[in-house]
Amino acid sequence: MKKLLFVCLGNICRSPTAHAVMRQKLAYAGINIEVESAGTSASHKGETPDPRSVRQGMQAGYDFSGIRSRPVQERDFADYDLILAMDDDNLAALQQRCPPMYQHKLQLLLQYHPAYPQYREVPDPYYGGAKGFALVLALIEQGCEGLLQQLR
């Protein structure tokens, strides 16, 4: 396992949060795995993460520096070892584009959550309030912790 990609719709809320959380967990664990994130939509390309996500994440001690929105590219399916979608819609979008030989790389992040499948998806927080962003962070932290245990 060398490279992990987190994927949501805009790559400004959920997947940048997973990106920031997981790279910190891996660094603290001393595990050398590269982490990136991307969106199935290109509509926020080049943007920094949503300030509401950054506020939640920074309060919990995560660093979002260097993270910019970018769309999923065809070569990601070959380049990354594991591609983790935040919800079923984004998983389906990835499955539609991914060559058959790489389909096994596509998973839901919350497959690693201890309460999966009750928590199957990280819900889209974009049009909601601060509570939604707090839930997103809590789900992602637990999913990433479970993933870290698998990677050890």
Known catalytic residue: 81? Answer: no
Contact between 137 and ligand 4NP (CB under 6 A)? no
- Assess whether 50 carries a catalytic annotation: no
With respect to ligand 4NP, which residue has the nearer C-beta, 82 or 140?
Answer: 140
4, 5, 6, 9: residue in contact with ligand 4NP (rule CB under 6 A): 9
Identify which of 98, 119, 97 has the alpha carbon closest to the alpha carbon of residue 108.
119
> Which residues, in sequence order, are CB contacts of 51 under 8 Å at separation 6+?
none
- As measured in angstroms, the least distance from the Cβ of 44 to ligand 4NP is 6
| 121 is a contact residue toward ligand 4NP (CB under 6 A) | no
Going by C-alpha positions, the residue among 113, 95, 115 that lies closest to residue 105 is 95
75 among known catalytic residues: no
Catalytic member of 50, 76, 87, 124: 124
Cα gap 145→90, rounded to integer Å? 21
Using the rule CB under 6 A, give the single segment among 11-19, 54-62, 94-102, 107-115 that binds ligand 4NP.
11-19
Give DSSP secondary structure letters for 76-112. HHHH-SEEEESSHHHHHHHHHHS-GGGGGGEEEGGGG
d(CA 146, CA 38): 21
Size of the site for ligand 4NP (CB under 6 A): 10
For the window 18-57, what string marks contact with ligand 4NP as x by the rule CB under 6 A? Answer: -------------------------x--------------
- Residues 6+ away with beta carbon under 8 Å from 43: 10
Angle at 109 between CA 19 and CA 96, to 5 degrees: 100
- Site for ligand 4NP, rule CB under 6 A: 8-14, 43, 124, 126
Active site residues: 8, 14, 124
